């Protein structure tokens, strides 16, 4: 009996989740006023464009949660919800928009919606859960920049041929 989630799927999901966790380390972030700029949005968007919504949530939400739990636990629940929702929405929209006929355009629109979710989630989370509204305003331009970094996943997935190779790998069960 074939299961929906194969060993290959689980391995790729775990690898991308580990990459998200590693990119949550302060040593790999860019210091900015009010904190750090993290580059893990590239991995979250990449995983969301490659994986189904369950895998995307695992990489985005659970991966960010674990990274925060290990390195800086205060925002871990904000990360779980924000990056988890961001990843699921990108995964769903990138597959459903234009019915697969314009995958790059679908990816651009999906990552845009995901960027809005991420910026809004962290701004509200920072303002009301683990910091102050003033701190959230100071950090807002850097949250937007972090969201923009997620767009790097689109050429990584489509221009490099990663999407085709990934789909081919998963079909060979």
Q: What is the 3-state secondary structure (H, E, C) of the chain?
A: CCCCCCHHHHHHHHHHHHHHHHCCCHHHCEEECCEEECCHHHHHHHHHHHCCHHHHHHHHHHHHHHHHHHHCCCCHHHHHHHHHHHHHHHHHHHHHHHHHCCHHHHHHHHHHHHHHHHHHHHHHHHHHCCCCHHHHHHHHHHHHHHHHHHHHHHHHHHHCCHHHHHHHHHHCC
Nearest to 122 by CA among 77, 163, 90, 156: 77
pLDDT in tens, 19-54: 999 998 888 888 887 778 889 999 999 999 999 999
Residue 3: per-residue pLDDT = 54
Residue 88 to residue 2: CA distance in whole angstroms: 24
* Residue ranges of the chain whose pLDDT lies below 50: 1
User: What local confidence, expressed as pLDDT, does residue 1 receive?
Assistant: 39
For the chain, domains (ranges, CATH) are: 7-160 (1.10.1760.20)
What's residue 115's pLDDT?
Answer: 98
């Amino acid at each position: 009996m074939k299961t929906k989630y194969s060993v290959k799927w689980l391995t790729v999901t775990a690898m991308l989740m580990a990459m998200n966790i590693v990119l949550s380390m302060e040593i790999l972030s860019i210091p900015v006023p009010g904190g750090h700029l993290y580059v893990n949005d590239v991995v979250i968007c990449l995983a969301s464009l490659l994986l189904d919504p369950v895998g995307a949530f695992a990489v985005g939400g659970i991966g960010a949660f674990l990274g925060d739990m290990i390195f800086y636990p205060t925002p871990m629940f904000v990360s779980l919800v924000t990056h988890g929702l961001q990843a699921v929405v990108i995964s769903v929209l990138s597959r459903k928009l234009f019915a697969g006929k314009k995958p790059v355009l679908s990816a651009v629109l999906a990552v845009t919606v995901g960027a809005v979710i991420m910026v809004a989630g962290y701004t509200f989370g920072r303002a009301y859960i683990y910091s102050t509204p003033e701190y959230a305003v100071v950090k807002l331009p850097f949250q937007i920049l972090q969201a923009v970094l997620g767009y790097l996943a689109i050429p990584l997935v489509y221009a490099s041929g990663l999407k085709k190779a990934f789909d081919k790998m998963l079909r060979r069960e």
